[in-house]
Structure 1
């Protein structure tokens, strides 16, 4: 039981009807989860408006309502609290309800279009190897020490974030690394959290179905750094043209990293192979098991963050050499006698796909062909579809367009949107195969010994969402099975 007025601390109240000096059981924004004595926070969401469920929440036992507008009729013995922004109020209420756990551990947020999952996960790995108890909030999974939970969003809702942070605090976790999405920032899910540091990776075409313009997307990312405290560090990639924008108004300690520009932390790629990278970081050489220039950026960010969190320089380099690639991020196998290389990568934005294809181009001998399988998600930003197809068809010997997660859309329509980006000279090297497993099978049949197959878009995901139903689907498992069958 918590006192309502204590939970509402920092929630910027506009008006109150009733008493806030009452005890409540818990805070909820889903009316279906309301029980007797709870607080219901009415959120105006993208799918439904919580204000439509206020009466339902009261009928289920809610004794307090937090909302952006009072209902026409008020129930007796119920406290109504008016706030300007319910999302923001919920974030502060969640932090207060769970005792502000982010104040008691070192929380680092990673934001940007690409690289968030890799950086967060590898920082978790590195600090765990260094002997610390560590937490992770990522797209792939949530980790509290060694305990693993399923992730449903890149950045969970504020109640979920604080619940896991509270569990981490109780479990003795010292550091937590968290992906911070533009949706999460815009919907105020990270308000009320105390960050020890923030990392900016890069910014490219993504989520314009939600943010409407690139400048809005950029400014939402920037607002995360604007709110970092003076005690935190703000680490940004200044090889990205938006890197310095992130630092414009922050009061945090400003730090930069780059491969091409003078920065506080610099790296140079000395060797690049399928087996790994030889990097020179601030005049020290280190061999790492990860692949590609995009991972050189990720590793440099990890190095800088670890140093600023108190680890010793040489210890960080030693631990970096032991890091393993993240699930679905340039994972590859080399198949039996044919020596066909199959790569699975989460690249689902134009920039990410371009980076993966550049990495393969840098490593390959050109005596082999590169076959790329790629799709685009349904009910998402349509403008990137032709761009993805253009990149795949212009930088591969064969490009196969197929389904990703079509969701409620017809996958044929999605593929037709993609095909519009193919230039005439590339028509003959493209195929369209609606069924994803069939597309992977055709790629494997087309591949000759030593060829490379890139399966892009889904990465770590183990499902395919079609018409609201999730079906088991694992790119890596499927390509392994098909290649094994063909190698018999």
Structure 2
């Protein structure tokens, strides 16, 4: 139990009906989880308005309601707290309730369109290999030192973030690495947290179903850097023109990294093969198991972050050479007999798909065929569908358009949107197969000795969502099974 007054510390309150001198059990924003003596925070979401569930929360015995609009009917047993921004209030309350856990560790946020998961996950790996207790909040999983928890969002809600940071405090975790999405920033999920550093990867076409314009999407990312304290560092990729934008109003120490332009941390690709990358980072060579120019950027950001957090240079390079690729990020297998290479990658934006295909094309000899299986998610940004299809058809010998996670949309309509982006000269390179498993199977059947298959879009996901239902679906597992059967 905790006193409401303590939980409301630093919350911008408009008005109060009732007493704030009351003991409460916990904070909830989902009325279905309300128990006696809880606080219910009514959030205005894009699909659901929590204010519609205040009555239900009251019936379940809630002690406190925090809302942006005071309900007309009130109960004497309930305290009502009106706030200007319920999302921000929730973040501040969660921080107070869990004892400001981010102040007790070095928290680094990674934001940008592509590379967030790889950088955050590999930084966790790096510091674990360096002998530290570390934490991770990512799309793929949440790690509290050695203990793994399931992730549901790129950036969890503020209650979940603070709860896991609190668990990290209990386990003596010293460093935590966190993916920070534009949705998370916009919905104030990271407000109230104390960051030691922020990393900006790049900015390209994504989430314009949520953010109305690219400028709005960029400015939301920038807000994260605007709010970093003087004691933090802001590490940005200046090969992306938006890197300098991120630094414009930050109070944090400004640090840059790049492959092509002048920067504090520079890297050069010396070798790029399916077996790995040979990089020169600030005049020091390092061999890594990761592949592609996009990973050169990721590794440079990781090296710079490691040094900024106190890792010794030689040790930092040694540990980077030991890093293993992240689940669903350029994971590949090679079939035994036909030597067909199948690559699974999470690339679900035009820029990410282009990066992966260009990486494959830079490494391949040209004698083999490149077959790309790709889809686009339903109920998401429709404008990227024709762009992704154009890229797939232009940079592959054969592009197979299929379902990703159709969600509530008709998969054939999504594929039709994709097909509109294919130039006439590439029509004969494309196939449309609605069933994803069949599309993967067809790609394997079309592939000949030494050919390369890229399966893009879902990466680490082990499900497919159709009409609100999730069924088991693992790209890597399926392509392994298909290739094994074909090889028999």
For normalisation by structure 1, the TM-score amounts to 1.00
Local SS of the residue matching 2:278: strand
Q: Hey, what does 2:469 align to over in structure 1?
A: 469
Could you give the per-residue CA deviations for residues 17-55 of structure 1, whole angstroms, max 9, x where no partner exists?
111111111111111111111111110011210111111
Q: Hey, what does 1:329 align to over in structure 2?
A: 329
Which blocks of at least 5 consecutive residues in structure 2 are unaligned? none
Cα distance in structure 2, aligned partners of 1:462 and 1:409: 20
1:334-345 mapped onto 2 (5 Å cutoff): 334-345=334-345
Cα distance in structure 2, aligned partners of 1:439 and 1:174: 45
Q: Hey, what does 2:391 align to over in structure 1?
A: 391
1:22-41 mapped onto 2 (5 Å cutoff): 22-41=22-41
Asked whether 1:195 is paired with 2:195, we answer yes
Q: Hey, what does 2:445 align to over in structure 1?
A: 445
Q: Hey, what does 1:46 align to over in structure 2?
A: 46
Q: Hey, what does 1:73 align to over in structure 2?
A: 73
Q: Hey, what does 1:372 align to over in structure 2?
A: 372
Cα distance in structure 1, aligned partners of 2:461 and 2:78: 44
Could you give the per-residue CA deviations for residues 275-328 of structure 1, whole angstroms, max 9, x where no partner exists?
000000000000000000000000000000010001101110000000000000
Which blocks of at least 5 consecutive residues in structure 1 are unaligned? none
Q: Hey, what does 1:18 align to over in structure 2?
A: 18
Cα distance in structure 2, aligned partners of 1:261 and 1:457: 30
Q: Hey, what does 1:283 align to over in structure 2?
A: 283
Q: What count of residue pairs does the alignment treat as equivalent? A: 488
1:122-141 mapped onto 2 (5 Å cutoff): 122-141=122-141
1:196-211 mapped onto 2 (5 Å cutoff): 196-211=196-211
Cα distance in structure 2, aligned partners of 1:253 and 1:5: 35
Q: Hey, what does 1:268 align to over in structure 2?
A: 268
For normalisation by structure 2, the TM-score amounts to 1.00
Local SS of the residue matching 1:148: strand
Once structures 1 and 2 are overlaid, which stretch shifts more, 8-17 or 360-369?
Answer: 8-17
Asked whether 1:166 is paired with 2:166, we answer yes
Cα distance in structure 2, aligned partners of 1:77 and 1:469: 40
Local SS of the residue matching 1:35: coil
Deviation at 1:446, TM superposition (A): 0.5
Local SS of the residue matching 2:198: strand
Local SS of the residue matching 1:211: coil
RMSD of the TM alignment (CA)? 0.5
Cα distance in structure 2, aligned partners of 1:163 and 1:263: 37
1:149-298 mapped onto 2 (5 Å cutoff): 149-298=149-298
Cα distance in structure 2, aligned partners of 1:355 and 1:92: 39
List, as ranges, runs of 4+ consecutive aligned residues in structure 1 with deviation greater than 3 Å: none
Cα distance in structure 2, aligned partners of 1:178 and 1:461: 19
Asked whether 1:142 is paired with 2:151, we answer no
Cα distance in structure 2, aligned partners of 1:352 and 1:235: 21
Cα distance in structure 1, aligned partners of 2:441 and 2:57: 51
Cα distance in structure 1, aligned partners of 2:328 and 2:78: 49
Could you give the per-residue CA deviations for residues 404-461 of structure 1, whole angstroms, max 9, x where no partner exists?
0000000000000000000000000100000001001110111010000000000000
Deviation at 1:74, TM superposition (A): 1.5
Deviation at 1:77, TM superposition (A): 2.3
Cα distance in structure 1, aligned partners of 2:56 and 2:341: 56
Q: Hey, what does 1:410 align to over in structure 2?
A: 410
Deviation at 1:203, TM superposition (A): 0.3
Q: Hey, what does 1:303 align to over in structure 2?
A: 303
Cα distance in structure 2, aligned partners of 1:363 and 1:479: 22
Cα distance in structure 2, aligned partners of 1:194 and 1:64: 27
Could you give the per-residue CA deviations for residues 189-238 of structure 1, whole angstroms, max 9, x where no partner exists?
00010000000000000000000100000000000000001100000000
Cα distance in structure 1, aligned partners of 2:55 and 2:437: 47
Deviation at 1:108, TM superposition (A): 0.4
